[in-house]
Amino acid sequence: MSTISFRSLLSKNDIFGFVALVILIMILLPLMLDIFRLNLIGKYLTYAFVALGLVMCWGMGGILSLGQGVFFGMGGYCMAMFLKLEASSPEQTAIQSTPGIPDFMDWNQLTELPWFWLPYNSFGLTLISIILAPTAFAFIIGLAMFKRRVGGVYFAIITQAVAAILTILIIGQQGYTGGVNGITDLRTLHGWDIRTDAAKYILYYLNALLLFVCLFGAQIVRKSKLGRLLVAMREREDRVRFSGYDVANFKIFVFCLAAMFSAIGGAMFTLQVGFMSPSFVGIVPSIEMVIYCAVGGRLSIFGAVYGTLLVNWAKTSFSESFPELWLFAMGALFIGVVMAFPNGLAGVYSSYFHTYVERFFQMLKQQFYLKFLSHKTV
Amino acid sequence: MMHLEKETRTSNGCRRYFMKTVVALPLAMLFGSTALAVPGTAEINTTGLAVTDTTVKVGILHSVTGTMAISETGSVQAEKLAIEQINAMGGVLGRKIEYIQEDGASDWPTFAEKSKKLLVKDKVAAVFGCWTSASRKAVLPIFEQYNGMLYYPTFYEGLEQSPNVIYTGQEATQQIIAGIDWVVKNKGAKKFFLLGSDYIWPRTSNKIARKHIDKLGLKVVGEEYYPLGHTQFNSVINKIKLKKPDVIYAIVVGGSNVAFYKQLKAAGIDMTKEKPIVLTISVTEDEVLGIGGENIVGAYAAMKYFQSLDNANNKAFVEAFKKRWGDGIVIGDVTQAAYLGPWLWKAAVEKAGSFDIDKIRAASPEIELPTAPEGYVRIHPNHHLWSKTRIGHARMDGQYDIVYETESLIEPDPFPKGYQ
Amino acid sequence: MFEEYTMSELTSIFAMQGFAGLILFSVLVLMALGLAIIFGQMGVINMAHGEFMILGAYITYLTSIVFSEHLPDLFSGYFFLAMILAFLGSFFLGAFVEWSMIRHLYKRPLDTLLATWGLSLILQQLYRTIFGAREVGVSIPDWMMGSYPITDLIEVPINGIFVMVLTLFISLGVYLIMFKSSLGKQTRAVVQNRDMAGAVGINTEKVDRYTYAIGCGIAGIAGSAFTMIGSTGPTAGQLYIVDTFLVVVFGGASNLLGTIASAFTISQAQSTLEFFLSGSMAKVLTLLTVVGILMLLPQGLFALKIRR
């Protein structure tokens, strides 16, 4: 792939998008909100990783996965397993019949740590598995499906079934996974209490930073030849194939990328919220995450973030004000977005506000040139 | 039956005594000194809870949407009723209770989010809520971190004892051991088939049941779990027919319950006959409403409360509940346990003379509630309730006939030795 | 595991188990037929399918109340009327939904998923507001709830027979509609080539509306029948949605016969596995097998042969 120059990587609009989002997430929100609300925003932003992945694989590549919760969950569980082991030192679990193993294992008569928990004693291995395990899983699914040209709706339904299978497995094997309760009561990371307000601020910023790294990564892919091929593939898959490209490989790549983003989000979720449960792996959250992406605009990486924030903010505030009726509002929101704004917030922006922003930039430019030129003549 | 009547009379006596003190106390205060009647907010609230001179805020946190709303609705109604009744009696320490209701949406992370909101933003003095174990596990660290007090109404698996939770339902051993003892003694049961939905409460409960059955020298002929929401039970019913157990010990929950009992009946297992006996710890009157009385008639349930309980407390409670929420409504075990929450909290606040969580915690052990619909209850130092266990026999109309109750209160034992 | 049983016991148990598999098969077919029409023929991913089923169940509930209060003599037969009403109720709601939502989305099939998901949330809350959050108990006439003993061990549940017969009739009806009636022929023509069908004078909008409404109506009948075996509550519809989609996809979405074949395979696999394993593991293994086979035969068991 050819090298990408800065100009071609970030257009004026992209720069504006990044700067606006940085100002919002890094400066405005922390200034405006107290730590409780900011922590909530931090939680929402972990879903934005998933939505971003969906923009890549659904918006650009045309592959709709209804099982992104699986990868979010895997990332989250990997992190949770590490934190749980740290919280289950023999001193802290002295009242159990087998001290030194997580409490739920003790309740299920396990007497030693299962083998697949062992790597999670090490933070390094945990970090590696957060990235690798979901990506590898996505690779296997992708390889099996895309090489056999399963696509579109079929792929969506199969990923949905995968989510269902994994949920039943996690709930059924509660001795190894914590069952329907999930892995709860996580307190420290290397002795650092993750529940204090200071820790919450640090984790919020870490989360935001990672989100920007992922956004930037997505931007690179988007602007590269690969990104253009993905779009071409979405529009006319057969033509791309006839041009001599192996379409499946691109699909597998972008699916793995989306899985990796989701997993990072999941791990950050566990850190900020302090537990992980199978309710994220299932079908409902997976579909909800697709909806965040659709509300934001499936073609826009920034839209994914705004969409996630908007839907979750709406959910929280509707349900706080109308605990018994908020579902009406949510349902109406989804239908309304799909019917009236198929390209989501990003579509609304580009058809209504874009020109103003453009004009604003034009004005800035003129000012700048004026100054620059006048300087020269003197 | 003799025993039952006697019990009613004593609890009646208790109630009268209680009512006298309740009436006498404020009167004494009123005449003694006006300053004493309503203590100053600064003295009784040193930790910045949402207490004013006239009001105190509490939280109600249940699922009113999602799959669990089916079960949790009754608890919300009971808690609201209790709060309204307390307010009608003058409130707590002279303050009216105001509740803030939040929806857990049958989603554990949402429970965590909302509980944090109640404790951090609203500064509520107590929270009445949660239903599933998973939701309780999700909010527990938050209650411990921000030092809140949760009154948790559901019968559950035990294995927990938090300084920040009062468990007003029964823990597993209270519910299970008495039930199995009864069925062995009175029905001559020898072979058990254990069945449950696949999550921690049924699994832990069946584990305790199995240990107890082993101790009695009897036999478990099968143990099966189905995913939550499963609706096809024909295969397991065939297995039951093959193994011919004396007792089907069923801990199926939610929508699966309805499917299970309907299919059991359709497969020709007549619960009104001698054998097999169906003994459940998960079907309250609330669930029977969905199952339909005709599909479960003849089954036995082991829990601490049935709507048909014959005592004056319960009659007043049922009447008030129906008046508030409509005639067609039924009251299950958990609904009654949820009703106890606000009353136990009130008693603790009054004993402590303060809304401070630490003082309430210190005051809670040994608090008695003679006015409880289920009869006299008392808080054990391990934060669970001493309570009786009763066996109900399901009737056609969706109610239970109480055929047995334990003679004395059963001690709660969340970490039972020999059953783990 | 079988040493302790006599031969006759085993035979009858296996007979019973086979019968249980057949009941499961009928249930799956009933669930999936409506969706096979909507999703398989029209390409609409109807996530609100479960909610249409529950609408049928609630209509059955209301009918049972009306009958037990006003016409107790006719109660034993109310179920047939209830099923017709359930069909009509779901049919008209379906037609309305098609008119107001779905018809704007035919060009964007994946968007139908999101819109119908929103619809399902609204319907759930609507049921909750109207009927309360608790489950309702639908009383079934006595003659439908018993069992018919053949030998000591073999007892045939009457509701199972009822569901099987009903499935047979509905399948036959769908076959007649889709393959013999002019509506069916038009539907298939529209599915295969919308523009061309329009060009030869088929009113594609009308065909779409009827097709969608019929699919929803069948869901309503299924929901009505399921009051005999399952629960009726605001969120009960969600229990069925994954299985339903899987049956349709596994059969090869565009092929109605495939749906039936796939329901048969899945039901037999599941009920056999359930007998030897615990319920949860049986479910996991069945789903895994289905996903595995779908990876080998990506277009499902019976696909139209189109080179992609």
ipTM: 0.86
Residues C72-125 pLDDT 10s = 888 888 889 999 999 999 999 999 999 999 988 888 877 888 899 999 999 999
Locate the chain A residue with the closest alpha carbon to C297: A148
Residue of B nearest to A175 (CA): B200
Q: Cα separations (Å) of B52 from B60, B117, B356, B416?
A: 19, 19, 13, 43
3-state class of B193 per DSSP? strand
pLDDT of residue B32: 40
- Whether the CB of A181 is below 8 Å from some CB of chain B: the reply is yes
The two structure tokens encoding residue C198: 């329009």
Task: State whether residue A244 sits within 8 Å of chain B by CB.
Answer: no
- Strands A188-189 vs A192-193: parallel, antiparallel or unpaired: antiparallel
Per-residue pLDDT, averaged over C55-75, amounts to 90
Instruction: Provide mean pLDDT across the span B362-380.
Output: 94
Pairing outcome for strands B96-103 and B55-62: parallel
Residue C308: which of A149, A160, A171 has the nearest Cβ?
Answer: A149
Per the CB < 8 Å rule, is C295 touching A172?
A: no
Evaluate if residue B11 carries a pLDDT over 50: no
Select C17-296's CATH number: 1.10.8, 1.10.3470, 3.30.310, 1.10.3210.
1.10.3470
According to CATH, what is the number of the domain B172-303+392-405?
Answer: 3.40.50.2300
Which H or E run includes B56?
Answer: strand B55-62
B227 vs C138, C159, C280: nearest CB: C280
Q: Does A338 contact C105 at a Cβ distance shorter than 8 Å?
A: yes
Using CA atoms, how far apart are residues A302 and A228, in angstroms rounded to an integer?
Answer: 18
Strand ranges in chain A using DSSP code E only, listed in sequence order: 188-189, 192-193
Which of C109, C111, C246 shows the shortest C-beta gap to A161? C246
B219-226 vs B368-369, strand pairing mode: unpaired
Report how far apart, in Å, the C-alpha atoms of C246 and of each of B124, B257, C35 are. Answer: 46, 24, 11
Cβ–Cβ gap C147/B267 under 8 Å: yes
Average pLDDT over residues B177-186: 92
3-class SS string, chain C: CCCCCCHHHHHHHHHHHHHHHHHHHHHHHHHHHHHHHHHHHHCCCCCCHHHHHHHHHHHHHHHHHHHHHHCHHHHHHHHHHHHHHHHHHHHHHHHHHHHHCHHHCCCCHHHHHHHHHHHHHHHHHHHHHHHCCCCECCCCCHHHHCEEECCCCCEEEHHHHHHHHHHHHHHHHHHHHHHHCHHHHHHHHHHHCHHHHHHCCCCHHHHHHHHHHHHHHHHHHHHHHHCCCCCECCCCCHHHHHHHHHHHHHCCCCCHHHHHHHHHHHHHHHHHHHHHCCHHHHHHHHHHHHHHHHHHCCCCCCCCCCCC
Nearest CA in chain A to C294: A158
pLDDT at residue B20 tops 50 = no
CA angle C240, C246, C250 (to 5 degrees): 150
In B, minimum Cα distance to A270 occurs at B109
Query: Smallest Cβ distance to B232: which of C24, C124, C133?
Result: C24
**Chain C contact set for B234 (CB, 8 A):** 19-20, 23-24, 157, 160, 271
| pLDDT tens string A222-277 | 988 888 899 898 888 889 889 888 889 999 999 999 999 999 999 999 999 988 98
pLDDT beyond 60 at B284: yes
**Pick from C5, C132, C137: which is nearest to B242 by CB?**
C5
> Does the structure show a pLDDT above 70 at A286?
yes
- In SS3 terms, B222-275 reads as EEEEECCCCCCCHHHHHHHHHHCCCEEEEECCCHHHHHHHHHHHHCCCCCCCCC
Number of Cβ within a 10 Å radius of residue A6: 7
Residues B105, A279: C-beta atoms closer than 8 Å? no
CB B52 within 8 A of CB B121: no
User: What pLDDT is stored for residue A203 in this prediction?
Assistant: 95
Q: Is the dihedral of CA B234, B240, B241, B243 positive or negative?
A: positive
C-beta separation of B404 from B310 below 8 A: no
pLDDT in tens, C125-147: 999 999 988 888 888 887 877 77
The conformational region for residue B356 under phi > 0 = left, psi -120 to 50 = alpha, else beta, is beta
Residue A310 distance to chain B (closest CA, Å): 17
Query: What was the pLDDT predicted at A211?
Result: 96
- Largest interatomic CA distance in chain B: 74
- The subunits that touch chain B, with at least 3 C-beta pairs less than 8 Å apart, are A, C
| Degrees, nearest 5: CA angle A107-B214-A112 | 30
Instruction: Among A102-116, B316-330, C2-16, name the most confident range.
Output: B316-330
**A275 vs A270: CA distance, rounded Å:** 5
Interface test with B, best of C148, C152, C239, C281 (most B CBs within 10 A): C239
Q: Average pLDDT in the A352-374 region?
A: 78
Cβ pair A153:C125 closer than 8 A: no
Chain A residue at shortest CA distance from C100: A339
pLDDT at residue C2 in the model: 59
Identify all chain A residues contacting C105, using CB atoms and an 8 Å cutoff. Answer: 338-339
Q: Are C251 and C259 in contact (CB under 8 A)?
A: yes
**B231, B238, B262 ranked by CB distance to C20: nearest:** B238
| pLDDT band at residue A7 using 50, 70 and 90 as cut-offs | low
What's the pLDDT at A5?
67
pLDDT digits (tens, 9 = 90+) for C237-286: 887 888 888 888 888 767 788 889 999 988 988 888 888 887 778 888 88
In the beta sheet, which residues pair with residue A183? A276
pLDDT in tens, A146-175: 888 877 777 888 898 899 889 888 988 888
Residues 327 through 386 of chain B touching chain C, CB cutoff 8 Å: none
Mean pLDDT is lowest, of A263-267, B76-80, B134-138, C15-19, for: C15-19
Mean pLDDT value across residues A129-153: 89
Tell me which range, B119-128, C124-133, C153-162, C219-228, is most confidently predicted by mean pLDDT.
Answer: B119-128
CATH says B2-170+311-386 is which class? alpha beta
Q: Which of C139, C231, C280 sits opposite B255 (nearest CB)?
A: C231
ω before C141 within 30° of 0 (cis)?
Answer: no
Torsion of CA A318, A321, A326, A331, to 10 degrees: -30
The verdict on a CB contact (< 8 Å) between B255 and C135 is yes
Identity of the residue in B227, B238, B259 whose CB atom sits nearest the CB atom of C275: B238
Nearest chain C CA: its distance from B329 CA (Å): 10
Q: Which residues pair with B402 in a beta bridge?
A: B392
Res. A378: pLDDT tops 70:
no
Q: CA nearest A110 in B: which residue?
A: B420
| Higher-scoring residue by pLDDT: A199, A323 | A199
Please name the member of A36, A95, A273 whose beta carbon is closest to the beta carbon of B109: A273
| Alpha-carbon dihedral sign for residues B23, B25, B30, B31 | positive
CB contact under 8 A, A274 and B141: yes
Q: Shortest Cα distance from C137 to chain B (angstroms)?
A: 4
Residues from chain B contacting residue C13 (CB–CB below 8 Å) = 238, 241-242
Q: For testing the chain A interface, which of B103, B157, B164 should be mutated: the one with the most A CBs within 10 Å?
A: B103
Count of CA atoms in the C-beta half-sphere (13 A) of A241: 13
Residues A178 and B199: their CA atoms lie apart, in Å, by: 9
Confidence category of residue B30, pLDDT binned at 50, 70, 90: very low
Does C279 lie at the interface with B, CB-CB under 8 angstroms? yes
Find the closest chain B residue to C277 by CA distance.
B224
Q: Is B275 on the interface with C (CB under 8 A)?
A: no
Check residues B32 and C169 and name the one with the higher pLDDT. Answer: C169
Q: What is the DSSP letter of B379?
A: E
Q: CA A218, CA A254: separation in Å to the nearest integer?
A: 10
Domain-wise residue ranges, chain B:
2-170+311-386, 172-303+392-405
pLDDT band for B257, please (50, 70, 90 cuts). confident
Q: Give the C window 61-80 contacts with B, CB below 8 Å.
A: none
Tell me: pLDDT of B37 over 70: no
Q: Higher model confidence: residue B25 or residue C215?
A: C215
Looking at residue C52, what is its pLDDT?
A: 95
Whole-angstrom Cα distance, residue A126 to residue A119? 7
Query: Which has more confidence, A16 or B195?
Result: B195
For chain B, the average pLDDT equals 87
The mean pLDDT value for A59-63 works out to 89
Touching check for C122 and chain B: CB below 8 Å?
A: no
Amino acid in the structure at residue A374: S
In this predicted structure, what is the pLDDT of residue C1?
A: 55
Q: pLDDT band at residue C287, thresholds of 50, 70 and 90?
A: confident
Nearest to B112 among A174, A181, A273 (CB): A273
Q: Does the pLDDT value for residue B31 go beyond 70?
A: no
The span from the CA of B75 to the CA of B340, in Å, is 10
User: Helix crossing, C256-276 with C238-250: angle to 10°?
Assistant: 120
pLDDT band at residue C297 using 50, 70 and 90 as cut-offs = confident
**Is A102 in contact with A176 (CB distance < 8 Å)?**
no
DSSP per position, A161-220: HHHHHHHHHHHH-HHHH-GGG-B----EETTEETTSHHHHHHHHHHHHHHHHHHHHHHHH
* Residue A291 to residue A296: CA distance in whole angstroms: 8
Per CB-CB distance under 8 Å, the chain C contacts of B258 are 135, 230-232
CB contact under 8 A, B117 and A174: no
**Is B416:B379 a contact under the CB 8 Å cutoff?**
no
Q: Across the interface, which of B109, B157, B204 has its CB nearest the CB of A277?
A: B109
Rounded CA separation A295/A293 (Å): 6
Mutation choice for B interface testing from C126, C128, C274 by most B CBs within 10 A: C274
In chain C, the percentage of residues whose pLDDT exceeds 70 is 95
The whole-number pLDDT of residue A119 equals 92
Q: Which residues contact B341 (CB under 8 A, 6 or more apart)?
A: B79, B82, B128, B151, B153, B166, B168
Report the pLDDT averaged over residues B39-46.
87
Residue of A nearest to B140 (CA): A185
Chain C residues whose CB is inside 8 A of the B241 CB are 13, 16, 153
pLDDT at C303: 61
Tell me if A181 and B228 make a contact (CB, 8 A cut-off). no
Q: Tell me: the pLDDT tens digits for B212-244?
A: 999 999 999 999 888 888 888 888 888 888 888
- Residue to mutate among A327, A330, A333, A343, with most C CBs inside 10 A, is A327
Chain B nearest CA to C193, separation (Å): 39
Q: Does residue C153 belong to the interface with chain B, where contact is any CB pair within 8 Å?
A: yes
Q: Give pLDDT, residue A368.
A: 78
Answering whether pTM is above 0.90, one says: no
Tokens of B128: 């009445």
Confidence of residue B18 (pLDDT cuts 50, 70, 90): very low
